[in-house]
Structure 1
Amino acid sequence: MNDSNGAILFIEKPKPSDAFSIKERYIQTKYVDKLLFARDPDQNTINILEAIRKNDVRAAYRILAIAEVSANMTYDALSKDVHHVQPVTDKMLLDPISCEIIQDSGKPEGCLQGCSLLHFACEYGYPIMVELLLLFGADINMQDFHGRTPLHHCVQKKNDELTKHLLKRGARTTIKDGGGLTALERRMELGAITDEDLFILFVR
């Protein structure tokens, strides 16, 4: 089946009795053009996460454009390993510091619940992947389970360059996480901001 641009979305695996030209087309599509996608939406979800982990921008683009995976899908849509049960009545549970997974791992990024694809790209520190997701409509201010935006994730990794990029692209600086702190306040917990441009972007 072809889309309007001539890209092949799905074709059946050829049978032994099929003509050589059909077999050749299948091989070309699968291994050279790499335009075949699984019919199972869950598999496409796994593929997009893997593409982000590997910083494979080309693969991520094809999945977003052709397989129509949402740029705003979350980790919860893929994983059954959900630690927190919603709705939460105890607001203390929303504070990243109170999260058992974060405590056990010793890393702020230990808990992935509610994280979007953009959160993942920021965690890995891939600016081109971040921009690709934004172009496909990723919500730059989306909050994970602990109220952290992609901006929060950037600052906790001390990735000042990517933080500046998000701020220039419109990331809001007033959003507070589950602990009641903004991204700027989280960044200042990690030490003084010596990058003047970064500080100006935060307070403008």
Structure 2
Amino acid sequence: MGGKRALKPRKAPRQERAQETVDAILEAGAYILVRDGWEKFTTNRVAERAGVNIASLYQYFPNKEAIAAELQRRHIAKGRSAYPEMRERLRSQADLRGALRILVEGAIAEHRVNPRLHRVFAEELPRASRRVHGERDEQVMERLAEIVEPYGIDVPDREIALFLFRVVGHAAIHEAASERPELLENPVFAEELVTLFERYLVRE
């Protein structure tokens, strides 16, 4: 059988009871993903955990990929709820270190939102199902370039430097969230990342 699996809900809930059903399905889906992983994640198990019949689940979600996609959308939205405030703070920064600190703190805050579920999204979901609601890599790179532009970073190749900044930063914070989540609450971890990036981007 060919073709892509549908990643969008079949319909949006319009009444309170329908919304409660969808919320129960998603809560059950998150629980099973965290507890059992993607391989054991099925619509039947989600429906059983949610206390709804499978027909009710299929009214809203055509398959397990669509459930995972909606979970990702909500996870990303919750993790990025502070972005507007972060952008305002970035506009008032006089130096690169201050801007880097805001970026690092924002990335850490995003990973604090259910880090175990975040790990499943990043490490277990099929590639086609990942980051369906996130920014494209090009968008992230453009945003980083705009942020650092006023500070005159000193690197041989700005595009490569920003690529490494993005990849290394995400890898370090993701690894901390997966293996040592207590580091996300440790201000020294954030400051060490800021120092790492500042010394890489501004060379004497």
TM-score > 0.5, shorter chain as reference? no
TM-score when scaled to structure 1?
A: 0.33
More helix per residue: 2
TM-score when scaled to structure 2?
A: 0.33
